[in-house]
Amino acid sequence: MALDFDPIDEAARQWGLRWDGVPAMHAVTSLMRVQQLVIGRLDGLLKPHGLTFARYEALVLLVFSREGALPLGKMGERLQVHATSVTSLVDRLESAGLVVRRRHPDDGRAVLAEITDQGRATVERATADLVQARFALTSLSEDELGALSDLLRPVRHDAGDF
């Protein structure tokens, strides 16, 4: 149910009565709320494919790899998630038949996640749905999407994202 006022604007008004930093507080609260909304919409688009956005990202990462397989540790680095999260993602993808685990041919201690043909087909179908839905960002124009990415790049850089 939609509110008849913007709760983030109201929170910023209340914040300003007590503390400094209203623009930063408003921006970060807006950013976090948009993240929740977009993830919810993306997960809704991906649910018919048996995926969450996190699982989709893992599959896409494997599609992008030269061999269709990566060590779990490398997946964690590239997805920027903890090793336990990668293990959980791969467990779920494996149980759905979208990836298989196999031993690394050169490093007996490492385990690879390898995308299956079913996984590749699932990525293709899910990607078509996401692209058609403009990744749940239909309210922004192409120029606005570019501007948003440009605006967020320094924040990501300062946080050590790249």
117 belongs to a structural domain: yes
Residue 12: give its domain's CATH number: 1.10.10.10
pLDDT interval class at 134 (50, 70, 90): very high
Identify which has the larger pLDDT, 162 or 42: 42
- Which residue from 45, 50, 48 is spatially nearest to 89, judged by alpha carbons? 50
Written as one letter, the residue type at 107 is D
Q: Report the distance separating Cα 135 and Cα 39, nearest Å.
A: 10
Instruction: Say whether pLDDT at 33 is over 90.
Output: yes
Are 121 and 68 in contact by the 8 Å Cβ rule? The answer is no
151 belongs to a structural domain: no
153 belongs to a structural domain: no
* Positive or negative: CA dihedral 56, 59, 127, 116: negative
Q: Is residue 2 packed enough to be buried (19+ CB in 10 Å), middle (13-18) or exposed (0-12)?
A: exposed
Q: Report the distance separating Cα 96 and Cα 55, nearest Å.
A: 11
Q: How far apart are the first and last CA of the chain?
A: 39
pLDDT of 109 reads 84
Q: What is the token pair recorded at 98?
A: 């979208």
Number of domains in the chain: 1
Q: Residue 94 belongs to what domain range?
A: 7-135
pLDDT of 105 reads 85
Residue % of the chain over a pLDDT of 70: 100
148 belongs to a structural domain: no
160 belongs to a structural domain: no
77 belongs to a structural domain: yes
Written as one letter, the residue type at 68 is G
Q: Angle at Cα 113 formed by Cα 109 and Cα 116, nearest 5°? A: 145
**Residue 99 backbone zone (phi > 0: left; psi -120 to 50: alpha; other: beta):** beta
For residue 66, the SS3 value is coil
Written as one letter, the residue type at 125 is R
Q: What is the pTM of this model?
A: 0.90
Sorted by sequence, the CB contacts under 8 Å of residue 75 that are 6+ apart come out as 58, 61, 62, 86, 89, 90, 113
